[in-house]
Structure 1
Amino acid sequence: MVSKDVGDVLFLFLGAVMIFAMHAGFAFLEVGSVRKKNQVNALQKILVDWSMSTVIYFLIGYPIAHGMKGFLISTNMLSGQHGLELIRFFFYLTFAACIPAIISGGIAERAKFYPVLIVNAVLAGVAYPVLERIFWWDEKFLGIHSLIKSLTGSTFTDFAGSVVVHSFGGWVALPAIILLGARRNRYTNSTPPAVSNIPFLALGSWILCIGWFGFNVVSAAKIDGISGLVAVNSLMAMVGGVLA
C-alpha cells in the first residue's frame, strides 16, 4: 500500500509520469519497426489506444479494480481531499494503458484500427481491472488466491505487473499474432520488408529503459525500503541484456 507521506505521494506521481512517457518509447519503437507507409497508422494507434484506455479505465476499470459501487468514480473522491487516491488512479491507469501498447507491437501492420480499439477498450476497462483486483487488492475475490495456494502450496505475488501487465499482454498478443499471420509479403518476397528507421528503434528503446525505473522502482510504493535494490536490479538487468 502507498504511504500518505508527502514524499511518497510525489514519488508515486513521478513514477506515473515516467510510465506515461514510456508510450513515446512504444511509439518510436513501433514506428521504426514498420514500413514507412505505415508509420502514421502506428503513431495514431498508440496515441488513440492511450486515450481510449484512460477514459475506459476512469469510467469502468478503476471502480472494478477497487470494488467500488457502480461503474463511476464517486463525486466525493473527485471533489474532496483525495490527492493520494487520484494519483494512485493515475499510476494504475498507466499500467492498464501499457497492455494495449505491448500488444500493438506484436500485431503491427496486420490489424484494422477500429477492431483493435474495441478489443483494447475491453482489456483496459474489464480484463486488466479484474486481474488487478484479484492479485493486488482483494485476495478473496473469485477465490483465485486460494486456488493457487491449494495447487502449489504457495501464495501468489506479483511485483510491478510482471504477470498482471506484461505476461497478460503477451498472452493476448500471442493468439492474435497466430490468427493474423505474418505480414503481407513477409515470406513470399526474396527480400523481406526492412525496418524503416533504425534511429527511431534506438530512441524508443532508450525511452523505455528510462521508463522502466518508474515502472519497477515506484512499484515499491515508498522511497525507502527496497526501492534502491529494485533500481539496481533493473539497471543490471538492462546492461546485462545489452552485453549479452
Structure 2
Amino acid sequence: MTVSGLRERTIGTRLRHVRQAARALKPDPREVTSVELLGWVSERSWQLETRHAYYSSLRSFFGFIKGVNSPALALPHIHRPNALPRPVPDTQLVEALNSASPRTRQILLLGACVGLRASEIARVHIDDFFHDLHGYSLHVVGKGGVSRFVPIDRGFAEELMECARANNGWLFPGKDHGHLSPRYVSKLGSCALASPWTLHTLRHRFATTAYRNSHDLIAVQRLLGHSSVATTQRYTAPADDALRLVAESTHLNVSHP
C-alpha cells in the first residue's frame, strides 16, 4: 500500500478493516469464500460511508491475495446518495464554545472558522504557520497529500502558535506520532456539540458561511482542499431566504375566474 502512494492514515484504516474480517473469518485468507464474506458483511450494521470504506479495503486485500478469484468480487456496489449540507447553527456553535475547555475550543474553531478536517486539526504544528503582507496563513496537508494554505485570523493564529511552542511544536500533543489521533480529535469536537452535530459538520458551517459571504465556489473549494467543485457543493447550504427569493421569482400573475 505504501508503494501505491497511500497515506499512512489510509493504510491504518485498511489494515483495521482487514483485521476485523480476519478475526471473524478463517485464519487463512486464501480459504475465505464469497459466501462467507457476504455473510459476514451482511451482519454488520454499518452506515453507507462506512460500508463503502470496508468494501474498498476488502476488495484491495483479497484482490492482492487471490486475484481474479477474490471473494470480494461478490461484494455489491454501494450507491451513496448525495447527502445534504449540514452546517452547525451558529447558536449551537457559540453554546459549545462557551462550555468547552481551551483545547476543545481551539478544535471547534479550527473546524468552524478554518475549515479543517479532524486529521488536519490533529497535525497542526508550529512550523505550519506563515506570515506575509496579507496576514497569517496555515499550511495544511489534506487528503492525498495535497497541500493548501488557509488564511487564519491574526489573534487566533498567535494564540495557537503560543500553545504549540509550549508543547514542543504540536498544537495538540499526544501519542499518535507526537500528536493526538484524528479519531480522538473528532471525538472531542463531536462530544462538545449536541447531537446530531459532529466535528465534521463544522466544515459544512465553514463552507456555507464562506460561500454566502463571497459567492465564490472556487475559492471555497480551494480553502476546503476539495479536488472537485461538486464535492464543495455538497458542503454549502443555501440560505432559506435565498431559496424563497428564487422560488418567488417564478410566480406567474394570473387572474382567477
Measured against the shorter chain, the TM-score band is: under 0.3
TM-score by length of 2: 0.24
TM-score by length of 1: 0.25
Higher radius of gyration, 1 or 2: 2
Larger % of helix: which?
Answer: 1
